[in-house]
A and B are shown apart, each in its own frame.
Chain A
Amino acid sequence: MQASQVSSPARAAPRISRQRLKYYAQGYAFISPWIIGTALFTVYPVAYSAVLTFTKFDLLTPPEYIGAGNFDRMIGDSQFPTALINTAYYTFIAVPLQLFVALIMALFLNQQLRFINVFRTLFYLPTVTPTVASVIIFMYLYNPDFGFFNVALGWFGIPGVKWLGDPNWAKPALILLSLWYVGGQMVIFLAGLQSVPDALLEAASIDGAGTLRKFWHVTIPMITPTIFFNLVLGIIGSFQVFTVAFIATRGGPIDSTLFYVLWIYRHAFENLNMGYAAAIGWVLLVIILIFTLLQFAISQRWVYYEAEGS
Chain B
Amino acid sequence: MSIAVVMKGVPMRKSIFRGNTVSRRGLLRSGLVLGVGTVAAMALSGCGEEEEVAAPAPAATAAPTQVVAATEAPPSMEKVTIKMWTASVEDINPIHEEEVANFTSMMPNVSIDLTLVPWSDVQTKQLTSLAAGDKPDIAYTHSELNSTFAWRGVLQSLDEYMAADGDFDRDDFFAGPLENLSYRGKVNGVPMYSGPVIFVYNREMIGELGFDDPWEMYQEGNWTIDAYEQIVRAAATGSGADRIYGDRELPNALKIWWLWIQGFDGQVWNDKVSESLMHEANALKTWDWLTTLVKDEVWADSTVTGAFSGGAEGMFVSRKMPFYTASRWVTTNIPEEFPAATAPMYKMPNGDDNGRDGTDGVGMHADTKHPDEAWAVLKHWATDVMDRFVEIRYTNPTRRSVLNSPAWAAAMATWDNVEVHNASLEQIRRGFYHPPGYREINTILKKAYDEVKLGQKNSADAFSAIKPDIDAILQESSE
Residues of chain A at the chain B interface (Cβ within 8 Å): 1, 27, 41-43, 45-50, 52, 57-63, 139-140, 142-147, 150-151, 154, 160, 162-167, 225, 228-229, 232-233, 236, 240, 252-255, 261, 264, 266, 268-274, 277-278, 281-282, 284-285, 288-289, 292, 296, 305-308, 310
A163 and B56: CB pair below 8 A? no
What are the residues of chain B within 8 A of A278 when measuring CB–CB?
Answer: 44, 47-48
Within B404-458, the residues touching A (CB, 8 Å) are 437, 439-440, 443, 446-447, 450-451, 454, 456
Known: A46-B41, A162-B303. A59 touches B127 (CB 8 A): yes
Binding site for A on B (CB under 8 A): 6, 9, 23-25, 28-29, 31-32, 35-36, 39-41, 43-51, 53-56, 124, 127-128, 130-131, 148-149, 152-154, 239-241, 243, 301-304, 306-309, 437, 439-440, 443, 446-447, 450-451, 454, 456
B450 partner residues in chain A, CB cutoff 8 A: 252-254
Q: Are A236 and B36 in contact (CB under 8 A)?
A: yes
Q: For the complex formed, measure the closest distance between the CB of A261 and the CB atoms of chain B, giving whole angstroms.
A: 7
Neighbour of B127 across the interface among A269, A284, A288, CB < 8 A: A269
**Are the C-beta atoms of A146 and B47 separated by less than 8 Å?**
no
- Residues in A with CB closer than 8 Å to B454 are 166-167, 253-254
Pick the residue among A47, A268, A285 that contacts B40 (CB under 8 A): A285
Select which of A59, A165, A306 is within 8 A of B131 by beta carbon.
Answer: A59
Q: List 18 A-B contacts (CB under 8 A).
A: A46-B40, A49-B47, A60-B131, A60-B149, A143-B307, A145-B241, A151-B240, A165-B301, A165-B302, A232-B32, A236-B35, A272-B437, A284-B43, A285-B40, A285-B44, A288-B39, A292-B36, A305-B25
How far in angstroms is the closest Cβ of chain A from B7? 11
- Residues of chain B within 8 A (CB-CB) of A255 are 447
Given A306-B24, A307-B25, CB of A281 within 8 Å of CB of B46:
yes
Residues of B within 8 A of A45 (CB): 41, 44-45, 48-49
Neighbouring B residues of A289 by C-beta, 8 Å: 36, 40
Query: In the assembled complex, which residues on chain B have CB atoms less than 8 Å from the CB atom of A236?
Result: 35-36, 39
Majority SS at the chain B contact face: helix
The 9 closest A-B pairs by CB, nearest first: A49-B48, A165-B303, A45-B45, A143-B307, A60-B152, A59-B131, A271-B440, A139-B307, A305-B25
Q: A26: nearest residue on chain B (CB-CB)?
A: B1
Instruction: For residue A224, give the distance in angstroms from its CB to the closest CB of chain B.
Output: 11
Chain B neighbourhood of A269, CB < 8 A: 124, 127-128
Asked if A271 and B443 sit within 8 Å, CB to CB, the answer is: yes
The answer for the CA separation of A46 and B32 in the assembled complex, in Å, is 19
Q: Could you tell me if B308 and A252 are in contact, using CB atoms closer than 8 angstroms?
A: no
Task: Kindly identify which residue among A27, A139, A143, A308 contacts B25, using a CB–CB cutoff of 8 Å.
Answer: A308
Which one, B36, B48, B306, B440, contacts A46 given CB within 8 A? B48
Q: Is A281's CB under 8 angstroms from B308's CB?
A: no
Q: State the Cβ distance, B156 to closest chain A Cβ, in Å.
A: 14
Given the complex, which residues of A lie within 8 Å of B149, measured CB to CB?
Answer: 60
Complex Cα distance A146/B306, Å?
A: 12
Check A60–B24 contact: CB distance below 8 A. Answer: no
Using CB atoms, name the residue of chain B closest to A258: B447
Separation of A143 and B447 alpha carbons in the complex (Å): 21
In the complex, the answer to whether A41 meets B152 with C-beta atoms within 8 Å is no
A52 touches B48 (CB 8 A): yes
Q: Are A164 and B307 in contact (CB under 8 A)?
A: yes
Task: Say yes or no: B307 contacts A308, CB within 8 Å.
Answer: no
Residue among A41, A261, A271 facing the most chain B CB atoms (10 A cut-off): A271
**Which of A45, A166, A225 has the most B CB atoms < 10 Å from its CB?**
A45
Contact A307 B24 (CB under 8 A): yes
Q: In the bound complex, do residue A274 and residue B47 qualify as a contact, i.e. CB atoms below 8 Å apart?
A: yes
- In the complex, what distance in Å separates the CA atom of A162 from the CA atom of B303? 8
Q: Are B44 and A46 in contact (CB under 8 A)?
A: yes
Q: Are B25 and A274 in contact (CB under 8 A)?
A: no
Determine the chain B residues whose CB is within 8 A of the CB of A59 once the complex forms: 50, 53, 127-128, 130-131
Report the separation of the CA atoms of residues A146 and B56 in the bound assembly, to the nearest whole angstrom.
52
- Given the complex, which residues of B lie within 8 Å of A274, measured CB to CB? 47, 50, 131
Q: How far is the CA of A306 from the CA of B24 in the complex (A)?
A: 8
Which residues of the other chain, B, contact A284 by a CB distance below 8 angstroms? 43
The contact of B23 among A160, A273, A308, by CB within 8 Å, is A308
List the B residue with the shortest CB-CB distance to A142.
B307
The residue on B at minimum CB distance from A170 is B303
Measured in the bound complex, the distance between the Cα atoms of B242 and A151 in whole Å is: 12
Chain A hits for B239, CB < 8 A: 145
Question: Given contacts A27-B6, A144-B304, A163-B303, is CB(A288)–CB(B36) below 8 Å?
Answer: yes
* Given A236-B35, A252-B450, A255-B447; A268-B53 close (CB under 8 Å): no
Interface contact B241-A151, CB-CB below 8 Å: yes
